[in-house]
Amino acid sequence: MYRDSDRQKLFSRRAAILAGGKVVLLSTLVGRMYYLQIVEAERYRTLSDENRINIRLLSPPRGRILDRFGVPLADNEQDYRAILISENTPNLNYTLDMLNQIIPIGSAERRRIGRDIKRHKNFVPVSVKRNLTWQDVSKIEVNAPDLPGILIDSERSRKYSYGEDLAHVLGYVAAVSTNEATGDPLLELPGARIGKAGVEKYHDLVLRGSGGNSQLEVNAFGRVIRELSRQEGQPGAEITLTIDIGLQRMITRRLTGQSAAAVVIDVHNGDILAMASTPSFDPNTFSRGLKPSIWKELKSNPMAPLTNKAIAGVYSPGSTFKMAVLLAALDKGVISPSTKFFCKGYIELGNAKFHCWKKYGHGNIAARMAIAQSCDVYFYEIAKRTGIDRIAEMANRLGLGVELGIDLPGEHTGLIPTKRWKRGALDTPWYQGETLIAGIGQGYVQVTPLQLAVMTARLTNGGVAVVPRLTKAVNGENVPINREPDRTTENLKLPKSHLDLVVGAMTDVVNSPYGTAFKSRIEESDFVMGGKTGTVQVRRITKAERKSGVVKNRDLPWEDRDHALFVGFAPVGKPRYAVAVVVEHGGGGSSVAAPIARDILLEAQRRESAGAYEIPEPRLRKS
């Protein structure tokens, strides 16, 4: 049994331990309070203010895109949308049913609205319907008492005034995908749009502008109480293009119904006055939200409306390549301008025959006449003597098979083959028969319509290696013609006599009765053009078909018909414009592509005579 004294001692010891524990706990609590209220006071004061003041980023207006004369091509327009605040809606289904009587809301949209409401707090607005007309807005406002929780909100949307006429040049904007999020806060904003193609993509960063901000007072739950201040962002840069929308629209209408491309370039400064690719698409459908059915239709169209054929379509150039072959032969001293070859309708190499388009041949023929009449045998002969590597070197100098650096995404380089290329790509040697085929612009040779236009410009401006460009100015400041030091415009170092021979031959193609494009000549003396036709086979003609001579393009399926090409310049004597036209599976270059090029060059010159274009200072050839 414990004695009273022992019991007293035990009680005192336990009380002391308990009291000590309380002192420790109280000291810890006091220390923590001191740390929070004294040491960390400034930090938590800041957090308290940030919880009360919410800074939100404001999207700036996207920069406009103009044509060379200041005509708006891509602009922003006020757009309206219906939004829903679910906490103000006693019965969601009833509200949506009532709204459906004013503007159609499909079942898929209703499911999407339901998902958005579940993902957000009930006071956060949810988009119900975008791209409302003013009539829709008026109806909703009038019926507002029957639409609790439905409000009208305004936003800016991208508008392309000329739709399909410039879709491949301008491109379009659309919602930001996950892999396009670069950390730019502007791309995180609801409804953010980014350039997906064309000029919109190439100049996306400068077109975006810089964001503003809005200071909002919010409560602990994030509900906005009031706006304290607002600072608007800096609008995106205004881009002025070299495009003439009047000429562009004329060309797209001229190409209607064809799978085709056409490029018009100023031979002196490289300005792209028009760049058309058909069929096209409406870029407005992308910026507003593309329906799956429309996307499927665009993707399945065999004429590839989503492809800018002017820079991404690659084609065998056919006889439009013959100027490059001739210049290579002249430059290497393989032939002289007066050198003649006899064309009997074909040339033999080993056991193979290489045919001329003219069954019974052209007889004895020299360089200028060979271009004018497009004699294949002549070019088989000079290609064989010149060699593929020398031909490739000249073609590259003229802008074929190389990257031209056009200020537009998606440019393809095409291909000018060499012996080294074939060994590396196919692990087989180069055969002389392949040189003959390349001599008439077929086989492995692949170029773009833009490259053909640039080649024509360099041939006709005195041998100056102009570089094509689409951007004329940014925010009113002119962009230099040569944008990069390593792409400085320079002389091609071709003798004037050689260039004069080629230009004279191209003049004969159109204006001499024996020329292949004589029927497509311009008869107005001030607007006379020169050029070169090209017809490219997309299927091999069998021996039996060649003997019968009855196979015509119109008798074949569309995809088996020849491509029609034409390159041209105008006016003769003082060239200012170069054009390249490619019509996929169109048939003959002289009958299909040449008339289109004639109409384009005639329109360009008429616009100049009416004062549409300023006359550039001529670029002098370097000595």
Active-site residues, by number, are 319
Distance CA 379, CA 359 (A): 16
CB 311 within 8 A of CB 196: no
Distance CA 595, CA 519 (A): 8
Q: Residue 469: which region, alpha, beta or left (left: phi > 0; alpha: psi -120 to 50)?
A: beta
CA distances from 330 to 386, 428, 456, 622 (A): 9, 29, 18, 21
Distance CA 497, CA 547 (A): 41
Q: List the one residue out of 262, 287, 260, 259 whose CA is nearest residue 272.
A: 262
Distance CA 323, CA 456 (A): 9
| 54, burial (CB in 10 Å: exposed 0-12, middle 13-18, buried 19+) | middle
Distance CA 619, CA 461 (A): 8
Residue 393 identity (one-letter amino acid): E
CB 590 within 8 A of CB 517: yes
CA distances from 487 to 242, 351, 551 (A): 19, 46, 47
21-52 burial string, b = 16+ CB within 10 Å, else e?
eeeeeeeeeeeeeeeeeeeeeeeeeeeeeeee
- HEC readout, 472-489: EEECCEECCCCCCHHHCC
Q: Please give the helix or strand (H or E) that residue 137 lies within, else none.
A: helix 134-142
Q: Look at the block and give the residue holding tokens 């010159």.
A: 605
Distance CA 251, CA 607 (A): 13
CB 588 within 8 A of CB 550: no
Please work out, in degrees rounded to the nearest 5, the angle formed at the alpha carbon of residue 202 by the alpha carbons of 288 and 198: 50
Distance CA 334, CA 382 (A): 8
Count of CB atoms situated within 10 Å of the CB of 559? 10
What is the three-class DSSP state of 575?
coil
| 226, burial (CB in 10 Å: exposed 0-12, middle 13-18, buried 19+) | exposed
- Strand segments (E) across 221-316: 224-231, 239-241, 260-266, 272-278
Distance CA 511, CA 372 (A): 10
